Amino acid sequence: MTSGTFLPYLNGSYGLAIVESAKREIGAPVQVDVRGRKIDAEMVKLPFYKREQ
């Protein structure tokens, strides 16, 4: 993880990470280490949130 936080407007935790190129497929399941705990996550396309105008 390079950065991450809870986003109240999406009601969830989101983050950015450096990932091996073999696992960069959109929708691919991954695990991230959050303070020593393995958490299931999913690869999504950036930007993952687009504000409505």
pLDDT, tens digit only, all 53 positions of the chain: 778 889 898 888 888 877 777 767 888 888 888 889 998 988 887 776 677 77
pTM for this entry: 0.57
Predicted local distance difference test score (pLDDT) of residue 9: 83
CA 25 to chain centre: 13
Predicted local distance difference test score (pLDDT) of residue 23: 62
